[in-house]
Structure 1
Amino acid sequence: MNVEREGLKIGFIGAGGIAARHVGVLSQMNDVAIVGVADADFGRARELAGKLGANAYNSHADLLDRESLDAVYICVPPFAHGDIEVAVIDAGLPFFVEKPVSLDLASAQNIARKVEDHGIVTGVGYHWRYLDTVEEARGLLAGNPAALINGYWLDQTPPPQWWWRQDRSGGQIVEQATHVIDLVRHLVGEVTEVYALGARTAERHDFPGLDIATATAVSLRVASGAVGTLSATCLLGWPHRTGIHLFSDRMAIELSDHEIMVDVGRGRPIRHAEGDPVEREDRDFLDAVCGLPNRIRCRYGEALKTHHVALAIAQSAVSGQPVLIKPVMGIANA
C-alpha cells in the first residue's frame, strides 16, 4: 500500500488514556491528520475529537463507514477486541492495536489469519521493544545469552473497573505483565513451558467486584534452555518495580521501561533510556503504511505469540498444572 505522507488520515477507535498517548505523538507530526474518533462512550469520543478538530462517533462501524481513512488505531480494553479488528480488516485498512490483543487465543488467531490473508500492515503496542536500552541489552546478549530470567510487575491497581474483572481484562499477567513476557521472547527466546500459582486477597473495599489474582508467581522455561520466574502483584499503592533482570556468563542486566544497569563486576552503572519509544513505534507503523520499508518491531502475528504465553500462564494459575506452549501454527508475523 502506497500512501502519500502529506495528509495521512487516521481514525481512532477508543478514546481512553492510551489513545491519548498516541494522539499526543501523532499530533506533533505535520503530515498526519486525525480525522475521526469513535468510542462507545460518546462523550469521551467527543471530548478527544474536539481537541483535534476531528469528528466523533459512538461506534467503530460509523467511523469506518463515514470517514475516508488511511489507517486506524485500535485502543480499546481487552474485552472489546474481535469484531473491531475484523471490520477494519474487511475495510482493507492497516491498523495499530494496543496490547493485549484479545481475551482468548481463538479470537486472536482468527484475526492473525485474516491479517495474513489480506496482507494488512499491522503494529502492536509492545513499545518496550523500541527502547534504546532494550536494543543495548539485545546487543550484549547476542554473544552471551541469558541463562536465568527474573521478571517483575509489582504495582498498584489501575482505576478502570473493567481492569478488576477477569472476564474483562484477563487479569494482571494478560493486561500488564505481558510487556515483560514480550521482553523475554525478544531478548531470550520462545517460552516453551510455564507453571503458575495465583492468589487473591479476600476482600479489597476500595475495589468492589475485583476477582482477578492479586499476586501471581510464574516459573518458565525457554527453548534456549534458559529458565526464569515472573512475579506480579497489584496490591501496592504505587509502581514499585516493573522490568526484567537477566543473568549470563559474568554479566547481569537489569532493565525497566526507563533505564538499564549492566553489571560485569565493576560497579552498577545506570543509564537512562533516551527518546520516546511510543513515537518510534508510531513512526515505523506510519512509514510502513506509506509503503516505506517495514521496520515494525511487533506485528500482529508476533504479538500473538506473546499473548499465547500470557494466556498459558493464566490457564496454569487456574489449573495448578504446568502448561506446554506449542508453536502457533500457520501464522506468520504479519
Structure 2
Amino acid sequence: MTTRIGLVGAGFIAGRHLDALTAIEGVRVAGVADPRADRAEVLAARAGAAAYAHWQDLLDVERLDALYVCVPPHAHGEAESAAIERGLPLFVEKPLATDLPTAEALADRIDGAGLLTSVGYHWRYLDTLETARELLAEAPARMVLGAWLDKAPRVDWWARQDGSGGQTVEQATHLFDVARVLVGEVEGGWATGSRSAQGPGDILDVCTAALRFSSGAVGSFSNSCLLPRAQRIGVELVAPGLGLWLTEHQLVVTDADGERTVHRGVDPFAAEDRAFVAAVRGEGDDVRTSYREALRTHRLAVAVATAAAGGGTVQL
C-alpha cells in the first residue's frame, strides 16, 4: 500500500526531505504547498506531485497519510493545527516556532489527540552520535563547548527577529539538542549577545551562553552569523580521559590511544524520514524526537535567546 505524504513548504529543507522520501519504497509525495507558486511547482515536479499555493488546498484535495511542515519559524502553527484536527501524523521541521507559547499550545493539542509526531533534529540519527553516547557511558562529560560560527542564510525571513527568532533559536538549537542527548538537562545559566552595523537584519549577530547541567557538567555555547562561510559548527565534549568533537559529518575521538576520526555512515535526513514513515505504517518505533521532546530543546533555545537579548539569567 502506498504511503501518501504532503509537504508544506518548498524551500531547501523541504527538498532534502522530498529526496529522502521518494527514495523509500512505497512512498509517494502527493502534493507540495507553498505561497510562492514557482517554488511549489519546481519542487513538486521533482516527485511528480501536484503543486498548491496554500496548505489548505493541499489538505482539502489530497488524501494523505502524513503531513510534513517545513516552513520558516514564524509560519508555524496553522498547518500543524489543521493536521491535528484531521488526525494526520505530523513531521515538523525545527525550530517549532519563533516563540515558546505557540509551541507549548501545539504540544498540548498534540498530546490530547495522541498524534504521532516527529521533529527534524536530524543529528539524533547520526551513527557518530551513538558512538559518542557509548563512549560517554563509561566517562560522563564534565564540559561541553558548542559552536555555530557561520554565515547568514540568504532568505529574507532569517535576519528578522520576528521571522526566525534569531540564530540561537533557528540554528544553535541543534547544539542544545545534542547537548541534552549527551550531557543531560540544563538547570540554568547566563547569556549575552549583541548586534552590530555589520550584522544582518535586527537579530543578534553574536551570542554566547554559560550553562550548568543537572549532572554537574558545565557548558559554553556561542553562535555568530558574521562570517563569509561556515567555520566551526559542532559540539566538543570533555570527560575524564576522553575528548570528543562531533559535527554533522564526523566524530573526532581523543583518548589514551591517541586521536582518531570516525566519519558518519548514514545520512541522518534519510534515517529520520525512514523512521517516521515506518512509524506511520505501524512498522517501526524509532522516532527519536517527538513534538513534546523537541519542545524541551526549544524551551532551552528560547530561554538562552531571551537571556542574551537582555544580558541576563537563563530562566527555565
TM range (shorter): over 0.9
- Show structure 1 runs of 4+ deviating over 3 A: none
Alignment of 1:50-129 (within 5 A): 50-129=45-124
TM-score normalised by length of structure 1:
0.93
Measure the CA separation in 1 of the matches of 2:259 and 2:291.
37
Contact 1:193 1:324 in 2 (8 A): yes
- Measure how far apart 1:68 and its partner are: 0.5
Q: Residue 27 of structure 1 aligns to which amino acid in structure 2?
A: T
- Measure how far apart 1:294 and its partner are: 1.7
Measure the CA separation in 1 of the matches of 2:183 and 2:164.
27
Match of 1:303 among 294, 308, 315: 294
2:37 aligned with 1:42, yes or no? yes
Q: Provide Cα deviations, 1:20-61, integer angstroms capped at 9, x if missing partner.
A: 001111111220001111011122111211222211111111
Give ranges in structure 2 of 5+ residues lacking alignment. Answer: none
Counterpart in 2 of 1:273? 264
Q: Residue 101 of structure 2 aligns to which amino acid in structure 1?
A: A
Counterpart in 2 of 1:148? 143
Contact 2:198 2:226 in 1 (8 A): no
Measure the CA separation in 2 of the matches of 1:266 and 1:53.
52
Match of 1:27 among 6, 13, 22: 22
Contact 1:194 1:312 in 2 (8 A): no
What is the DSSP-based 3-state SS (H/G/I as helix, E as strand, rest coil) of the residue aligned with 2:297? helix
- Measure how far apart 1:266 and its partner are: 3.0
What is the DSSP-based 3-state SS (H/G/I as helix, E as strand, rest coil) of the residue aligned with 1:252? strand
Alignment of 1:161-176 (within 5 A): 161-176=156-171
- Measure how far apart 1:249 and its partner are: 0.9
Counterpart in 2 of 1:211? 202
Give ranges in structure 1 of 5+ residues lacking alignment. Answer: 1-5, 326-334
What is the DSSP-based 3-state SS (H/G/I as helix, E as strand, rest coil) of the residue aligned with 1:64? helix
What is the DSSP-based 3-state SS (H/G/I as helix, E as strand, rest coil) of the residue aligned with 1:245? strand
Measure the CA separation in 2 of the matches of 1:316 and 1:323.
5
Match of 1:223 among 214, 218, 238: 214
- Measure how far apart 1:83 and its partner are: 1.1
- Measure how far apart 1:194 and its partner are: 2.8
TM-score normalised by length of structure 2:
0.98
Counterpart in 2 of 1:185? 180
Identity %: 47
In the alignment of these two chains, the number of paired residues is 316
